Amino acid sequence: MKFSANIGFLYTELPLPERIRAAKRDGFDAVECHFPYDVPAAEMKAALDETGFAMLGLNTIPGNPAAGDFGLAALPDRREDAAAAVRQAVAYGAAIGARNVHVMAGRTDGGAAAEAAYRETLSLACDLAGAAGMGVLIEPINHRDVAGYHLARVEHAAEIVEALGRDNLRIMFDCYHTQIMQGDLTKRFAAHLPMIGHVQIAAVPDRGEPDGGEICFERLLASFADAGWEAPVGAEYKPRGGDTKAGLGWLAPLRAALA
């Protein structure tokens, strides 16, 4: 099995382009990121070309975190901001050859107006990303870490994917978030596999390296492979000791166990 380094959380002592190079040196197979927009796209593209890595995905901007924003797409009174965030993400992603854009929903009251705004923004994202040959991802995020996040259950995400009927819209199945909110990862993954576009892992409950916590990723990822998953798995965790390289003892053994 192949693994992607999420350079939003890993190698944070380095500039983003250098994180890509560090991930290559340390044995990852691809990269993904959160918010690369302060780095010129040409610099990111150069690092990707040098390493031969694919950028599996990036996020739309969260808005103003200091004001409590954690995404904009489902906020009825922020439609213009949400659309601008989607255009920014697609344009940047296209410039660096990213495969997907994760459209962040944001915190809402969970009502019909929020859902309508979310679906409207996702439709725009699918149009723009599709024209650029990219996919769109939506990610259920747990309410312990992000209270009030509009999308928290895999089944809700599946309802949206089915309702919109867009070929390039898929679910980001984050094992950390889904274990906290719902559990039953093996069966929930298999049931939604045709709709899943990316997988991420981290230990539960501390979001550290995936060799600790309550999930046995050796068995879980083996079940994903048995179900038919062949794409890289995203390592989106926060190193417990703060040093990414020092905490990479999990990578080779897990890859070998899943070979």
Per-residue pLDDT 10s for the chain (259 aa) are: 999 999 999 999 999 999 999 999 999 999 999 999 999 999 999 999 999 999 999 999 999 999 999 999 999 999 999 999 999 999 999 999 999 999 999 999 999 999 999 999 999 999 999 999 999 999 999 999 999 999 999 999 999 999 999 999 999 999 999 999 999 999 999 999 999 999 999 999 999 999 999 999 999 999 999 999 999 999 999 999 999 999 999 999 999 999 9
pLDDT tens profile 49-66: 999 999 999 999 999 999
* Contact call for residues 18 and 48 (beta carbons, < 8 A): no
Query: What pLDDT is recorded for position 5?
Result: 98
Query: What pLDDT is recorded for position 197?
Result: 98
The C-alpha atoms of residue 59 and residue 40 are separated, in whole angstroms, by 16
Is-catalytic flag, 236?
yes
Q: Please give the structure tokens belonging to residue 106.
A: 């944001």
User: Which residue among the candidates 32, 115, 209, 236 is catalytic per the annotation?
Assistant: 236
Instruction: Judge if pTM exceeds 0.85.
Output: yes
User: Which residue among the candidates 139, 159, 218, 230 is catalytic per the annotation?
Assistant: 139
- Angle 217-227/185-192 helices, nearest 10 degrees? 20
Is-catalytic flag, 139?
yes
Query: What pLDDT is recorded for position 7?
Result: 98
Query: What pLDDT is recorded for position 184?
Result: 98
